[in-house]
Structure 1
Amino acid sequence: MRASDRAYEVLRTEIVEWRLRPGAVLGEVEQAERLGVSRTPLREALARLVADGLAVQHRGRGAVVSDVSLEHIDDLFALRRALEIESARIAARRSNPEDFVRLRSRFLEAGRRTDPGSREAFYDLAAELDSCIDAAVSNPYISQALRSLRVHLARVRRLAQDDPERLAVSALEHAAIAEGIAARNPEVAAAATQLHLHHSLEHIKTHAGSREDT
């Protein structure tokens, strides 16, 4: 992996996971030394973060981690509905049902877990479902749009302060999406996706305020 790619991946992960918080200055000297790269690949990494919307350039301060605001959450979810609901329909027509049968079973099991590691395990499983749907859709334009969108959604999700009860319900919602796709029923898959997105948006709006103010 190139030095610029490595620096980008580390910084991107730290921003998404709130280890680098909104407003944090990404000083070239400090970050290059911390990440063990020279300033040229670091500048390339910072330029990619700016292009992703994860950082902004401020005169006199350099790159700064961008703000996360609920003001644009409706806009994000409008795009998410358009992309994910249609993707579920396409996947139901094209996918290998066995893959989604297995995913459904794993989501049902995830919904029953309460151990400390269940949160990250659930997010990994949700990402696996996303990847399977993307593969079934096999549309590079949709995949690219979703890849960019998911980065911002991951940051917003952290605002909502992961609620174990919500994660358990969300696991069942994901199981329903997988079940609709496995059944090769585009409208059932689309309806399950729409319901999940509705509940996700309402949860974020209800629970994200306190984190945004901290």
Structure 2
Amino acid sequence: MATDSGSREGDRVYSMLRKQILAVDLEPGSVLDEARIVQDMGTSRTPVREAVIRLVSDGLLKRDGRQVIVPTFQVAQLRAFFETLLLYTRVTHRLAAERRSARQLAAIWQAVKTFEKEAHTGIEFEMTDANHRLHRTIAAACDNIFFQEAYESILLQSLRLSRHCFVAGIKSEYKHREHLETIITEHQAIAQAIEDGDADRTDALATAHISLFRSWLSEQLLGPAELLNDMML
């Protein structure tokens, strides 16, 4: 019983730290203060250490000697990031179209609807998290645990990049709404292609979806000259 309780507490701490990292409340480059987390979350050191181990495995934290740090992400890494994201996106989406079960297809459509709902609420973290869950749901339908885990790992980094854009706030409200409507339309088209079992069309749509993300990210992060010098995620 104590083990179950400890595991639940570790899950709670993990979820809270994960949200703080993805919401950029824990700033990139900052050192994790374990004692402060124990105090703030009203817990013990064991669940904090369990959570840290999981977050290091996720790539959301890294160890540097005895310190645990929120990783940085520099502009120079963007090309490699998008090359990797595109590769795993295409593979997982093609396989999902070929292998998805009826249950998995229903879960994909539900995730599409959940993103639409969150996009219209205007709550940025909930919306980006819903987008992340949608693509994880598609990855789960590819029926290849190695591709799925690799894709989910890089998806976490894309979620951090998206959140940084919203925190930076470099966008007009009109362009933001227009961009969200485009995402919704593309999600629907991808889900329909998966339902139709059309791997080629799913691949093409997923590739276009990554292109949209890359273009939006470039506009948001690389617009002001001063951001080019300082941007680290």
**TM-score when normalising by structure 2:** 0.75
Instruction: Name the amino acid aligned to 1:176.
Output: A
The structural deviation recorded for 1:195 is 0.6
Q: What secondary structure, in the 3-state scheme, does the structure 1 residue paired with 2:31 have? A: coil
Deviation at 1:194, TM superposition (A): 0.4
- Choose the corresponding residue for 2:38, options 28, 32, 57: 32
How big is the shift at 1:55? 2.6
Q: 1:53 to 1:131 in 2, by over 3 A?
A: closer
Structure 1 position 160, deviation (Å): 2.4
Q: Is the 8 A contact 2:112 2:187 kept in 1?
A: no
Change (3 A) 1:132 1:9: closer
In structure 1, the gaps of 5 or more residues are none
Distance change >3 Å, CA 185–CA 12, structure 1 → 2: same
**Residue 205 (structure 1) aligns with:** 218
RMSD of aligned Cα (Å): 3.1
Matched-pair contact (CA < 8 Å) for 1:70–1:205: no
Residue equivalent to 1:184: 197
Does the 8 Å contact 2:99/2:143 carry over to 1? no
Flag the 1:26–1:138 CA change in 2: closer, same or farther, 3 A: same
Structure 2 unaligned runs (5+)? Answer: 1-6, 170-175
Give the Cα–Cα distance (whole angstroms) in 2 for the partners of residues 197 and 28 of structure 1. 36
Deviation at 1:21, TM superposition (A): 1.3
Q: Which amino acid aligns with 1:68?
A: F
Shift of 1:15: 0.2
User: Compared with structure 1, are the counterparts of its residues 102 and 66 closer, same or farther at alpha carbon in structure 2 (3 Å cutoff)?
Assistant: closer
SS in 2 for 1:63: strand
- The 8 Å contact of residues 104 and 176 in structure 1, kept in 2 or not, is answered as no
In structure 1, give the amino acid aligned to 2:28: P
Q: Is the 8 A contact 1:7 1:42 kept in 2?
A: yes
Match of 1:69 in 2: 74
- How many Å separate the matches in 2 of 1:52 and 1:114? 29
Alpha-carbon distance between aligned partners in 1 of 2:165 and 2:11, rounded to the nearest angstrom? 29
Counterpart of 1:188 in structure 2: which amino acid? R
2:64 and 2:137 map into 1 onto residues whose CA distance is 39
- Judged with a 3 Å threshold, the aligned counterparts in structure 2 of structure 1 residues 122 and 178 are, in CA distance, closer, same or farther, namely farther
The answer on whether the counterparts of 1:56 and 1:65 sit within 8 Å (CA) in structure 2 is yes
Give the deviation of 1:104 after TM superposition.
Answer: 9.7
Q: Does 1:99 align with 2:96?
A: no
Partner letter of residue 77 of structure 2?
Answer: H
1:201 to partner: Cα distance = 0.8
Q: Percent identity?
A: 25
